[in-house]
Amino acid sequence: MLLFGSQIMLEANTILDKILSSNAKADLLMLFNENPKLEDRTEGIAKRIGKTAVQIDSDLQDLVEVGLLSRKKVRGSEIIRYDRRRAAAIRKILTSYITKALE
């Protein structure tokens, strides 16, 4: 859950730690930012960024926990997709964090 007000700095740090802790996460963020309607299985997403499903599974989980991505079942397969609403909320928190840090 995202927190506002006095805890915004702590929440922003938590988000940054989760989303910037690996090169694969940067690749995943770029992929979904450039293809916001992308919905695919872990294996398909991994292939798109030149990795294996095993290599990116924990990175995907971190991005799901933050809320940038979500998982859903479709015909027995787990599909990963970008949560644009949540991404917009996270951008707002991070923008506020950066603005406060620069003051």
pLDDT at 41: 97
Cα dist from 24 to 20, 57, 76, whole Å: 9, 10, 26
Q: Which domain holds residue 80?
A: 22-102
Q: Is residue 28 one of the residues assigned to a domain? A: yes
Between 8-19 and 84-102, two packed helices, what is the crossing angle to 10 degrees? 120
Q: Is residue 27 one of the residues assigned to a domain? A: yes
Helix (H) or strand (E) holding 74: strand 69-74
State the average pLDDT over residues 49-76: 93
Q: Any idea what the CATH number is for the domain that residue 88 is in?
A: 1.10.10.10
pTM of the predicted structure, to 2 decimals: 0.78
CB 35 within 8 A of CB 80: no
Instruction: Express each pLDDT in 3-30 by its tens digit.
Output: 445 455 557 777 777 888 889 999 999 9
Residue type, 92: K
Kindly indicate the confidence band of residue 97, based on its pLDDT and cuts at 50, 70 and 90.
confident
